[in-house]
Every structure is written in C-alpha cells, then in structure tokens.
Amino acid sequence: MTLDTPADFLMAKEVLLSRSNAKWRQYEADVIPAFVADMDFAVAPAIRAAIRRSVDLDDYGYPMRDGQKADVAVAEAFARRMKRLYGWEAAAAQTLVLADLVQATFAAIMAFSEPGDGVIVQVPNYPPFRAAITETGRRLLPLPMRDEGDRYGFDLEALEAAMTPDVRIFLLCNPQNPTGRAFSEAELRAVLAFAEAHDLIVISDEIHSDLVHAPARHIPFASLGPAAAARTLTFNSATKSFNIPGLRTAVMHFGTPELKERFHHRFPARVMGSVNALGIDATVAAWDEGDAWLAAALSHLGAMRDHLAARLSAEMPAIRFHKPEATYLAWLDCSALGIEGSAFDFFHDRARLGFSPGENFEPGALSFVRLNFATSQEILDEILDRMLGALRGNIR
Ligand SMILES: Cc1ncc(COP(=O)(O)O)c(C=O)c1O
C-alpha cells in the first residue's frame, strides 16, 4: 500500500459495515455515524506489520521488548517522539504506561485532590472529564469556551473571580475536544501563570496533539519549562491520531519524579494494571514509523474540514461553526435553526445521522452537535446532503 492519496487508507462503506467497532454498530443500520472519535481509515502499514508479527508467531506470552518489561518500550517511544517533534525531554522514567486515559483522569483527580475540592475544566468538554470530577465527589469549576467570533477562547480573569482556596487542579484539554482549539503559547503561558498563582496541578490531556492542522501547532504544556513541568501531568496516546483506540495503550507523563511519587502514594503502579502486547507494538510502530501515514491522514482531514466549512457556509449558513485548528471534530452551533428539542434528535430522527449530542459535552447545550469528519468525501457529502434535506423539511 502506498500512501500518496487518501484512497489508499479510506475504507469502503461495505468494509466499515463489516467490522465490529462501535462507530458503525451503535446506531440502526440506516444511520450514518459521525460521533465517536474513530476514523474511517485503514491503519498505518507499520502498525499492521507490527501486529502481524505477533499473529504469525502466536506471540501472546507475557511481553518483553529489548530485554525489559515491554511497557518501557512505549515510554521510550513517547520520549523519542516528544524530543523529535517538540524538543521536549519527556523522561521515560517519569512515564506510566496504562490502558486508558479516562482511568488516568479519574486516578489523577483522586491522587491530587480530596473530595469537595475544586477542579477547573473547560466547558464544553469531553464527557468523561465531567464524570471524573463529579463521580469522585469533587466540585466542578467551569471555564467556559466562549465564542469569540472567529474561534473559541477562555477568560481567566472571569475564572479568577470564581476561585476559592480549595481548587487544586486545572484539567486542560489541549487541543480541546470538542471545539478543536490548539492553544497558542500565550494562552498556555496564561494558564501556567494562573496555575502558579493558585498552586494548581495541571492535567494536560494532549491525546489530539498529532491532529493539529498547519499553521496551528501543538505545544506540550509541560514543555513550557521547568516551572510548568513541576506541576503537570501529560496524557497522550497513539489511539486517536493513528486510529487504534481498541488497542488500549496510553501514557501518563509526570513532569517531575516527585509528582510521580505523589501519584503512586495513592495508586501503586500495580493498581493501574499493565497493557497488552499488541497495543505496545502498535503504539511503538505508530510513534516511530507512522509519520508518512499521519501526514497523509492529516492532509485528507484538512481537506474534509475545509470541504465541510465550505458547504456549511454556502448551503447551511445558519449553522455556526469555527474551523477546528485540530482534531477531526466539528462543534456545530445549530441554535439559529429554531429546532425544538435537541439538535441531535432532530438530525437523528429526520436525517438518520448519528452525531454526538451537544448536551453530552455541556449540560443544556441541546442546540449543539459534534460531527466527526474523519471519513471519505463521499460519506461526508451524504451526511451534508441529509442535513440539508432535513432542514428543507424532507423527512427521510
Ligand atoms: C480528550 C480525550 N481524552 C481521552 C480520550 C479517550 O481516552 P481513552 O480511550 O484512552 O480512555 C478521548 C477520546 O475521544 C478524548 O477525546
């Protein structure tokens, strides 16, 4: 397989339907899914080859790589990648390899705060963030992502007014899901100054860091310098950008050995479990050998984003939308459409489309939906045609 054109990794609808992942299974067969963060793409050849090696050898024993516990290979690949892409020294020894970043969010909140303490989170946000705060008995302090006309931004002065001494954590999503913002150095430095002023731990979820569209660029929060690193936990994985979420492998990097010690004081490494061998090999292959595939995928995603923006503004201008700087997710504000009830239900019932409901990301955001455009132009056009049809009153 070459990787020169999207046709090389875009999967036909029949193939997508024959697989068993949630994206194409959750809804009824006539619904086009555009919700969960999975891409309709074949994986990078290096990932397929890495998995094939294990399959061909029936190599499913307790894994070792290069004479060490296999997890170390992921931590080292992460360190190599951060150094290569951002010049950031993300020490492998300060990296915990685990299966699941939602688990990491719950655990980090429980390790660095007490019940009743405050946790800042951008709103709208990835739904499990809200759960990780409220289900552990912490208090959610919202930092609204405000529509600033041409993009979403946040206002730390307004947040300042809401601060109390029991706020311990700033849960930052960079790039942000669902608004697709890739924060600038100035914005991140403002967050750092705020975190220093209030002595906060920063949990920086950077799972979408590979999916930033030029000219925007990703800046790892901990790479801002030693003062940032000293209070930062960085979460990342190859699962979003290389389309392998089912392989359940991720990293939690601690900016200093002390932060890691504090974490393990609450959660010994054994409690966090270990990861599977296929996920380890796939992640290392993605991070070390996946750049060509990623560049081709990003180029296709950028084209789909622009196509979506062009069609929305020409054909459905009442839907407000800022082109995401990162991710393959579009946060669509449908409030001017005058839909009664939720926009999700409207498009589900009338257009047979499976978006993510806005209210999952922000209570009450019924007039928003999140659209996943990581698909072929053919499927994206069918999604847009169906939206248009529903808005014109053609009930499918
Ligand atoms: C911001 C963010 N964090 C974490 C995750 C999921 O992480 P995991 O599958 O490792 O639990 C997602 C998935 O979409 C996400 O968008």
User: Which of 101, 244, 361 to mutate for ligand 1's pocket (most ligand atoms within 8 Å of CB)?
Assistant: 101
189 contact partners, CB below 8 Å, separation of at least 6: 224
Whether 36 lines ligand 1, by a CB cut-off of 6 Å, is no
Q: Which residue has the tokens 């257009």?
A: 351
Looking at residue 15, its pLDDT comes to 86
For the Cβ of 279 lying below 6 angstroms from any atom of ligand 1, the answer is: no
What distance in angstroms lies between residue 126's CA and the mean position of ligand 1's atoms? 8
**Is ligand 1 within 6 A of the CB of residue 173?**
yes
Mutation test residue for ligand 1: of 39, 100, 102, the one with most atoms within 8 Å of CB: 102
Phi, psi of 117 (to 5 degrees): -70, 160
Residue 212 β-bridge partners: 326
Return d(Cα 357, Cα 343) in angstroms, integer: 7
Q: Is the CB of 94 under 6 A from ligand 1?
A: no
Work out which ligand 1 atom sits closest to the CA atom of 100: 10
C-alpha 268 chain-centroid distance: 26
Q: What is the CA radius of gyration of the chain?
A: 21
Which two three-digit tokens encode residue 24?
Answer: 């194409």
Instruction: Answer whether 101 contacts ligand 1 (Cβ < 6 A).
Output: yes
Q: How far apart are CA 262 and CA 68, in angstroms?
A: 25
Domains and CATH numbers, the chain: 6-45+291-391 (3.90.1150.10), 62-288 (3.40.640.10)
- Mutation probe of ligand 1 site: the residue of 106, 177, 251, 329 with most atoms within 8 A of C-beta: 177
User: Quick check: CB of 383 below 6 Å from ligand 1?
Assistant: no
Ligand 1 atom having least distance to the Cα of 99? 10
End-to-end CA distance of the chain: 38
238 C-beta closer than 6 A to ligand 1:
no
The rounded Å distance from CA 121 to ligand 1 centre is 15
Distance 250 CA to ligand 1 centre (A): 10
Residue 9, both tokens = 């990794």
Distance of alpha carbon 300 from alpha carbon 294, whole angstroms: 10
Reported for 211-217, long-range contacts at CB under 8 A and 24+ positions apart, including other chains, are 211/175, 211/240, 211/241, 211/298, 211/301, 211/326, 211/327, 211/328, 212/175, 212/182, 212/325, 212/326, 213/298, 213/301, 213/302, 213/305, 213/324, 213/325, 213/326, 214/302, 216/182, 216/325, 216/326, 217/182
Ligand 1, atom nearest to 103 Cα:
11
d(CA 159, CA 164): 10
Q: Tell me, in angstroms, the distance from the centre of ligand 1 to residue 384's CA.
A: 26
So what's the pLDDT on residue 10? 86
Whether the model pTM is above 0.75: yes
Atom in ligand 1 nearest the alpha carbon of residue 250: 10
Q: Report the separation in Å between the CA atom of 86 and the middle of ligand 1, taken as the mean of its atom positions.
A: 22
In the reported structure, the alpha carbon of residue 102 is separated from the centroid of ligand 1 by a whole-number distance in angstroms of 6
Q: What is the pLDDT along the chain (396 residues), one digit of tens a residue?
A: 445 556 678 888 888 888 888 888 888 889 999 988 889 999 999 999 999 999 999 999 999 999 999 999 999 999 999 999 999 999 999 999 999 999 999 999 999 999 999 999 999 999 999 999 999 999 999 999 999 999 999 999 999 999 999 999 999 999 999 999 999 999 999 999 999 999 999 999 999 999 999 999 999 999 999 999 999 999 999 999 999 999 999 999 999 999 999 999 999 999 999 999 999 999 999 999 999 999 999 999 999 999 999 999 999 999 999 999 999 999 999 999 999 999 999 999 999 999 999 999 999 999 999 999 999 999 999 999 999 999 998 655
